[in-house]
């Protein structure tokens, strides 16, 4: 029971943190839209865990910290925020790369999960 309550508390905290992040148009006013393509890999015979495309609009929550999909991973995830901040600052339209989850997980190696990502940004026209 206690575990369930902790989970609920955690979810509420997450919600609060998300609302404090603000929306994309506040954080990146020059962005008109953005697409993030991600492929999740894990340590297995079939390494591709899933593929995901996320469309970001000016009204979206500016949350670019993607959760690790491996059950039991503690404090893991893939934070694309620094990558996106840099792209927007330099007004670059796209980038790609890889990121390894730094979360801790029992009975798994430190290389339990990684992603490859591609980000594509459309900027508003300058006035």
- By CB under 5 A, name the binding residues for Zn ion: 68, 70, 73, 76, 101, 103, 113
Q: Measured from the CB atom, is 19 or 50 closer to Zn ion? A: 50
Q: Measured from the CB atom, is 24 or 101 closer to Zn ion? A: 101
In whole angstroms, the minimum distance from the beta carbon of 84 to Zn ion comes to: 20
In whole angstroms, the minimum distance from the beta carbon of 35 to Zn ion comes to: 24
Q: Measured from the CB atom, is 30 or 110 closer to Zn ion? A: 110
> Between β-strands 65-66 and 48-56, what pairing exists: parallel, antiparallel or unpaired?
unpaired
Q: Which candidate, 80, 111, 77, places its Cα nearest to that of 96? A: 80
In whole angstroms, the minimum distance from the beta carbon of 9 to Zn ion comes to: 22
């Amino acid at each position: 029971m206690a575990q369930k309550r902790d989970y609920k508390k955690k979810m509420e905290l997450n919600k609060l943190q998300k609302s404090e992040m603000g929306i994309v148009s506040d954080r990146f006013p020059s962005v008109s839209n953005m697409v993030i393509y991600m492929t999740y890999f894990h340590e297995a015979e079939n390494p591709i865990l899933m593929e995901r495309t996320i469309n970001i609009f000016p009204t979206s929550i500016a949350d670019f910290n993607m959760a690790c999909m491996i059950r039991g991973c503690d404090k893991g995830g893939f934070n694309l925020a620094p990558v996106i901040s840099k792209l927007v600052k330099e007004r670059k339209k796209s980038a790609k790369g890889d990121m390894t989850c730094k979360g801790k997980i029992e009975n798994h190696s430190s290389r339990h999960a990684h992603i490859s990502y591609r980000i594509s940004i459309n900027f508003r026209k300058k006035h």
